[in-house]
Amino acid sequence: MTTTDHTHPIDPVRVAHARERLPPADATTRLTGLLSMMADPVRLRLIYALDVTEELCVGDLALALDVSEDSVSYALRLLRASGLLVTRKEGRVVYNRLAEDFPAPLRDHCLRQLMALSEDPPADDGVQ
């Protein structure tokens, strides 16, 4: 018996309803991979910095984020491998930028709206 074999669903209509509307497993795997890239404070701040400045080199990113160049280099390597960043070389300097196909909803919701939400203190509605 697998975890999906059940002989007695309590509410087969709701089970069927849920199954029909669930995203495919491979889509959720891709999404969690993408979100895990943003689940690290250095990577998230790096993505945010590149979103607001267009492109920066490793040293400038380290200064902007107030972290070591090693931390930035490691984060950049992971983000490039995931396809979220691209580079441009000018002489000996390598500039990093968000990929053209960086998901706009991810930029809008994860970067802007969730960051704004994390900055705002919860409203005191007087209810205890």
pLDDT tens digits along 82-107: 889 999 999 999 999 999 988 887 77
pLDDT at 27: 85
Show me where the domains of the chain are located. 27-119
Beta bridge partners of residue 55, listed in sequence order:
97
Has residue 114 got a pLDDT over 90? no
**Integer Cα distance of 70 and 85 in angstroms:** 17
Q: Which of 27, 20, 45 is nearest to 111 (CA)?
A: 45
Read off the pLDDT band of 22 (50, 70, 90).
very high
Neighbouring-strand partners of residue 95: 57, 88
Region 10-32: mean pLDDT is 88
Give me the helix-helix angle, 69-81 and 41-53, nearest 10°.
Answer: 80
The 10 Å Cβ neighbour count of residue 76 is 23
Pick the CATH number of 27-119 from 3.30.565.60, 3.40.630.30, 1.10.10.10, 3.60.150.10: 1.10.10.10
pLDDT greater than 60 at residue 2: no
- Average pLDDT on 42-57 reads 93
Confidence at residue 5, expressed as pLDDT on a 0 to 100 scale: 64
pLDDT of residue 105: 77
pLDDT at 97: 97
pLDDT digits (tens, 9 = 90+) for 57-86: 999 999 999 999 999 999 999 999 988 999
Residue 94 β-bridge partners: 89
pLDDT for 9 equals: 72
